[in-house]
Amino acid sequence: MKNLLITGRPGVGKTTLVKRLIERPMPGKAVGFFTQEIREDEERTGFSIETMDGEKGFLASVHLTQGPRVGKYRVNMDDLDRIAVRCIEEGVEKAAILFIDEIGKMELLSRRFREAVVRAFDSPARVIATIKMGEGGFTGRLMKRDDTNVVLLTEKNRNAVMRRLVQFAEGPEGEEASSR
């Protein structure tokens, strides 16, 4: 398998897992981005996007007045395309491993994002991505690809999933060692 998708209910720790993995040394060039909650007075008011090389932007916010609405948030399509899409495109061109956190409802509003994700899955780069639960539409097609494995993350299997992600990130050598 070349692509690994991590799914699970909201708040189970998908982003935390990816961030822990990103902090580890990687064989070959690693490129990617992750999303994080933005909180004000203990209330979630939005989400940020941050690349592994430190570029930051806003994915969505309750304070935005323009952009598509998802729940109480408005999605910042400019930062989504400028930061996340550019990061995926860089990963397709230069990376041995590409991290995408996440392929979710907000991100899927961008046609450029969807196209970049497909290019990443088709590229030589190994892709580790978090993805919203559900098997329909665009995400369902990604989950059903022959070159893709889907892992359901739960509170109980976090450590086992982390070991599997490390082995996957290490490439075929790490996977062969784990299957012995």
* Per-residue CA distances from 160 to 97, 102, 157, 164, 169 (Å): 20, 21, 5, 6, 14
**One-letter amino acid for residue 152 of the chain:** L
Count of domains for the chain: 1
| Residue whose C-alpha is closest to residue 85's, from 41, 36, 118 | 118
Q: Which domain holds residue 139?
A: 3-33+85-179
CA 35 from centroid of its chain's CA atoms: 8
pTM for the whole structure: 0.91
Q: Specify if 39 maps to a domain.
A: no
pLDDT tens, N- to C-terminus, the chain (180 residues): 899 999 999 889 999 999 999 888 888 889 999 999 999 999 999 999 999 999 999 999 999 999 999 999 999 999 999 999 999 999 999 999 999 999 999 999 999 999 999 999 999 999 999 998 877 899 999 999 999 999 999 999 999 999 999 988 887 654 433 333
Helix pair 158-169, 172-179: axis angle to 10 deg: 130
Instruction: Determine the Cα–Cα distance for residues 122 and 109; give it in Å rounded to an integer.
Output: 21
Q: Specify if 136 maps to a domain.
A: yes
Q: Specify if 58 maps to a domain.
A: no
Q: Specify if 50 maps to a domain.
A: no
Q: What is the CATH number of the domain that holds 159?
A: 3.40.50.300
Residue 125 main-chain phi, psi, to 5 deg = -65, 140
